[in-house]
Structure 1
């Protein structure tokens, strides 16, 4: 298959991190994040542009300072099930935590979405970083870092085992003989591990794509190892091509070291393109919106990697405070990076907030030809396999789909039509064979090679 750019649409309703003012835009309904009609329209807009997937992010802990979209939004699998019957080709990917879900429940819900959609489901596996979530699940303390990632890996392996509970020919449904199930094709899991014990079998069959596609987005060593071990799609963020290429090489090499085909790991950084008639106009739009209107909201959001630490009582123009190991059990990699950059640059707290909330100028900003050329440069330069485009204002998304994508399509960088009706098919990923079928066929082949005993 010719390598082509993969496309995801991150549906953010009234605005996620760094988008505190998005909800005030005249094209955004104030209740967009809980209005299924808004999601259906955006999903159909993405499907008309031949996107591979829509992606629903999630978390289960909020404060009054959380971004507008986080404060009031639909649960991912409920939402995606509605999109499944409103679309026909686009993949449906949702975030579900392994820290505060059990594998059997995860496997059943995701398999249901996969069947409802005809094989278009995907699971973004997260080891929850927001420590406050623990109190919503009757826990006094959040899981520590090793436990979170240990649970994540074991959860995925258990779910994959449960998704193989039935071989593809398990249900003859033969009315003449009265045989509904061939019990030899049903398999218990009998898993006993460090974090979970799951008997099985799962009470739902495989979908046309075999099982949901696994996505992952952690950037720590533990996160990268998890992605390399089980991720088929990797969500990330890279501010420059050089950093994107380094991440790309690292994930692909880790996957190869684990015996996986690195071409079966699709790397898709999140982006927020800004398209205007000229490059200068696009950069001015980016500058005007980068920090938003309210520094206090950015300061509150800045506390999230540190377990929603309150920075409002600090002197903004004093050196960045000494925080010790604050953030170690939250978003550790991000927290440590903030501390490192502030220390090495001698930043004040205000400068640190402005640096990280504005970051460097985004790479995909300019006129449609400029943005298309930059995307092609990153793609051919192996900085990415696809893009995860943040979607809020419909007309801004339309500038990307209607002006940038036609240029890339003409150059053969993006598809001219869907290749398949499943998410795996469109991402160029193989259908995993049922492990019990593989074992049975191997056993039958061995038996066929053994000569029959001679009779006296």
Structure 2
């Protein structure tokens, strides 16, 4: 068997994502970074030079004035990734798209187009949309409830994958001598009629060198874990400690095996910020300084309500017990996250102020130290089966440079990470098989 290899992803949030309201003040970051294609090309090429597996573009479609700066003004993922596809050659291109506010046929076509443009490097992060306010942007009075969101997602994946397999391999003959362009026996309609969708097909685009886009998933609820174990090729997640990482890793692999899947065919990739210093103490100082300047308490309090359907917590007494009733506002939003926050606050007897500070602490990372220390910790998590790789948040440019120039070479020297790309497709570099493409004639 081939030796297990660490995977690396890049997460870009331009002028500042959650917990980083003021990061755009860093003079190394263009003030328009989140809509600046030149900035994206530069940082993604930097990741590709370091042999990263992928770049991950996060997305949502509802904002308030208190949303992080990157969320307020950013490029649509597939448009951005298509531009990056022609500016790169090996790095995977993964974008977030929701099953709640896209039609399967249109999304399948757009993703298949990116997959062909990039010659097999596309990936789709499947989400059901946690921001309940998105409903109002698509003519709905209310967001779908949890059961409906995940019911739609399961069926949606079946439809999209069925559409991606409209053409059998070799269907497009393109023989000028015989004048045959298409072998009609190898083109299949879908004729799907389900609980949520009715789609005839076929899709008017062929498969790519990797077969079809890689499916990523990021939900941590019971429904989210089931969806990931059932359909995902890779899973984005979060973990505060190695024990949390190991528990999630083991749970997903167990679920996949119970469903008859090869557990090794699912890649677990939690996201982390990384801080590298000359020494461990220097790195901790840099992390503290960045946390201090990147977001004030008042800014954190304003952003705190996102998981609770953007409920405004500024109306409460900061030093009174945490307002448990606010959980009601999260039912159609990021309920799993909001419930976890509420349960911690109640169990520890935290005030609202304490709870906001606790959440701010969650942005601290276990990967802080000298380059050697960070490499040691990554190796410990990887060998301990807490992940298959990590998504590195780009953060401040100086820190991402230090990671690629100081930490990555150490991982390579230890034989944990590649020194050259093994393949030209995202599936190939992630060690994932090409999905079978066999359909019966309808």
Q: Same fold (TM over 0.5)?
A: yes
Partner of 2:425: 422
Please state whether the residue corresponding to 2:21 is helix, strand or coil.
coil
* 1:371-425 deviation line (CA, Å, top 9, x unaligned): 0000000000000001001113322101001100111111001011100000000
Distance of 2:288 and 2:410 partners within structure 1: 26
Distance of 1:102 and 1:432 partners within structure 2: 23
Q: Post-superposition shift, 1:326?
A: 2.8
Distance of 1:204 and 1:387 partners within structure 2: 33
Partner of 2:42: 41
Verify the 8 A CA contact 2:19 2:295 in the aligned structure 1. no
Verify the 8 A CA contact 2:61 2:134 in the aligned structure 1. yes
Verify the 8 A CA contact 2:220 2:237 in the aligned structure 1. yes
Partner of 2:408: 405
List runs of 5+ in structure 2 lacking aligned partners: none
Distance of 1:230 and 1:39 partners within structure 2: 30
Please state whether the residue corresponding to 1:9 is helix, strand or coil.
strand
Q: Post-superposition shift, 1:267?
A: 0.2
* 1:235-279 deviation line (CA, Å, top 9, x unaligned): 000000000000000001111111111101000000000000011
Distance of 2:438 and 2:130 partners within structure 1: 33
Verify the 8 A CA contact 2:26 2:396 in the aligned structure 1. yes
Distance of 1:293 and 1:245 partners within structure 2: 30
Distance of 2:221 and 2:419 partners within structure 1: 36
Q: 1:137 to 1:210 in 2, by over 3 A?
A: same
Verify the 8 A CA contact 1:125 1:215 in the aligned structure 2. yes
Partner of 1:240: 241
Distance of 1:289 and 1:346 partners within structure 2: 29
Question: Is it true that 1:263 corresponds to 2:261 in the alignment?
Answer: no
Partner of 2:394: 391
Distance of 1:230 and 1:429 partners within structure 2: 13
Partner of 1:450: none
Q: Post-superposition shift, 1:306?
A: 0.4
Question: Is it true that 1:145 corresponds to 2:146 in the alignment?
Answer: yes
Q: Post-superposition shift, 1:360?
A: 7.4
List runs of 5+ in structure 1 lacking aligned partners: 441-456
Please state whether the residue corresponding to 1:180 is helix, strand or coil.
strand
Partner of 1:319: 321
Distance of 1:293 and 1:177 partners within structure 2: 66
Partner of 1:376: 379
Distance of 1:433 and 1:251 partners within structure 2: 23
* Structure of higher CA gyration radius: 1
Partner of 1:299: 301
TM-score, normalising length: structure 2: 0.98
Verify the 8 A CA contact 1:290 1:358 in the aligned structure 2. no
Verify the 8 A CA contact 1:315 1:349 in the aligned structure 2. yes
Please state whether the residue corresponding to 1:424 is helix, strand or coil.
helix
Distance of 1:78 and 1:150 partners within structure 2: 28
Partner of 2:255: 254
The residue correspondences of 1:425-436 to structure 2 (distance < 5 A) are: 425-436=428-439
Distance of 1:286 and 1:40 partners within structure 2: 26
Distance of 1:419 and 1:211 partners within structure 2: 19
TM-score, normalising length: structure 1: 0.95
Please state whether the residue corresponding to 2:175 is helix, strand or coil.
coil
Distance of 1:288 and 1:45 partners within structure 2: 25
Q: 1:70 to 1:293 in 2, by over 3 A?
A: closer
The residue correspondences of 1:268-347 to structure 2 (distance < 5 A) are: 268-290=269-291, 292-323=294-325, 324-347=327-350
Partner of 1:181: 182
Verify the 8 A CA contact 1:170 1:183 in the aligned structure 2. yes
Please state whether the residue corresponding to 1:123 is helix, strand or coil.
strand
Partner of 2:122: 121
Please state whether the residue corresponding to 1:172 is helix, strand or coil.
strand
Distance of 2:295 and 2:20 partners within structure 1: 10
List 4+ stretches of structure 1 deviating above 4 A. Answer: none
Distance of 2:321 and 2:391 partners within structure 1: 36
Q: 1:361 to 1:63 in 2, by over 3 A?
A: closer
The residue correspondences of 1:48-197 to structure 2 (distance < 5 A) are: 48-197=49-198
Verify the 8 A CA contact 1:424 1:430 in the aligned structure 2. yes
